[in-house]
Structures are given as structure tokens and as C-alpha cells.
Amino acid sequence: MKKHLIKKAAGVVGAATVMTLVPLAGTSYAATCSGTGCTNKGPVATGCDAGATTKKSTGDSYRYAELRWSATCDAGWVRVVTKDSPWGPDYATIESWNKNTWDLTKSLSVSAVSNGSDWSNMIGGAGYAYRVCYKNAWENTLSCSGYWYS
């Protein structure tokens, strides 16, 4: 009887220990940066990708760039999506512009991948105008979204 109780107690303690190590579904983690403190950091590594929305996009149905924005982190990035293989070194950029002087303040890029998506690091901060661009190397075209104001 004593052995049975010890085994049962060990099982309960073991299960409780495992449950503390496994996050519950829907658990959210706090973002690790905010505003300009997010600049040049990855949206996934910082938790800024959770709840992010697409504000602008440009390109065509096979190759496009999206301006992804995290209201929690007050930062944005470009996500590039291709549904085929780029014929050249295609890439996408995110740009931030000073809304008063219209000077380009920061630009980050990411290379397009075949049949998939990738994203750049972030540019953070309110008070800027942001846009994304997609460069199609084969056709030698550059398409840019309209500006989005944070």
C-alpha cells in the first residue's frame, strides 16, 4: 500500500512539474522592445509579430511586399512573399520618412525567396511615414506602396 501511494504521489508531482513547463494555448508573451528600441531587431524574436497587421502592400499576385505593423511595439517591418521563383535577385524594403521634411530616415531590406516568405528587421517609432517597395530584378521594376502614417 505504501509503495502504491508513493508511486501515485510521484506521478502527480511529475505531471504538475511538466504542466508548469508547457505554456497554455493562447498564452501571450510581452514584447521585449518598443518604438525606436525595436529598430534593427527581429519581429519574431522580440514578440512583436503577435497581433501585427498588414497596413500597406505592393507588387502583384505572385510577388509582393507587405508593411507589417505592431501596435504593441510601435514598429514595422516588410514581409516579402513569392508564389514562384524570382528570376533575379528580387528584394523588398521598408522605409521610414520624416513627415515634416520628407527626408528618408531609415531603410531596411530583405531578399525574396522562392515559393515562400521572409521578413526584414524592424524600424520603430511613431511620427513617421512608412512605405514598402518590391524590386523585380528580371523586369527591372520597382513598385512602392502608398505611405502609412504611424
Write out pLDDT tens, residues 93-141: 999 999 999 999 999 999 999 899 999 999 999 889 999 999 998 889 9
Dihedral sign from CA coordinates of 9, 15, 17, 19: negative
35-149 has CATH 2.60.40 classification: yes
Distance from C-alpha of 140 to C-alpha of 34, rounded to nearest angstrom: 36
Query: Per-residue pLDDT for 20 more than 60?
Result: no
Domain ranges of the chain: 35-149
Residue 145 Cα distances to 2, 92, 139, 149, angstroms: 72, 11, 18, 12
pTM value is 0.78
Tens of pLDDT along 30-55?
799 999 999 999 999 999 999 999 99
